[in-house]
């Protein structure tokens, strides 16, 4: 059973940075997609970035240049480095996984394993 546990959320001032982590366990498939999403209550889940087992990354235009997805295969951990944070980045952030997939779109319906989420609040 795949398990994803996010951490690293919190409160930060506008212009600040946070790094989210997602500890992944319970799978041995060497082909996978990992991704980050966020959701504001009452709104649809928004895709932010994805990365495959080869380290090939994609970023949504809305966060390109500010957010960076990465992974540490030795630690089975996914990261999202978030810089130049804005109040509109306030949301619950989720990591997600899909096994056995060679292409990693940043679309929520593609992913079937989800973490519990970590809250990010950007406010002065």
In this prediction, residue 43 carries a pLDDT of 95
Least Cα distance to 121 among 89, 79, 84, 83 occurs for 89
Q: Is the pLDDT of residue 101 over 90?
A: no
Contact 14, 87 (CB under 8 A): yes
Cα 41 from Cα 60, distance rounded (Å): 20
At 59-88, the pLDDT tens digits run 999 999 999 999 998 999 999 999 999 999
In this prediction, residue 102 carries a pLDDT of 80
At 102-118, the pLDDT tens digits run 889 999 999 999 999 99
Q: Is the pLDDT of residue 28 over 90?
A: no
Least Cα distance to 9 among 117, 99, 108 occurs for 117
In this prediction, residue 36 carries a pLDDT of 98
Q: At 68, list the tokens.
A: 């960076």
Residue 1: pLDDT band (50, 70, 90) is confident
Q: Is the pLDDT of residue 95 over 90?
A: yes
In this prediction, residue 116 carries a pLDDT of 97
């Amino acid at each position: 059973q795949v398990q994803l546990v996010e951490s690293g959320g919190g409160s930060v001032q506008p212009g600040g940075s946070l790094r989210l982590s997602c500890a992944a366990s319970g799978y041995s498939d060497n082909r996978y997609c990992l991704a980050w999403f966020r959701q504001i209550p009452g709104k649809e889940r928004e895709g932010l970035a994805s990365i495959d087992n080869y380290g090939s990354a994609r970023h949504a235009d809305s966060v390109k240049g500010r957010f960076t997805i990465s992974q540490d295969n030795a630690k089975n951990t996914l990261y999202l480095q978030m810089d130049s944070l804005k109040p509109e980045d306030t949301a619950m952030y989720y990591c997600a996984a899909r096994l056995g997939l060679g292409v990693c779109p940043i679309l929520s319906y593609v992913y079937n394993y989800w973490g519990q989420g970590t809250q990010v609040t950007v406010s002065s």
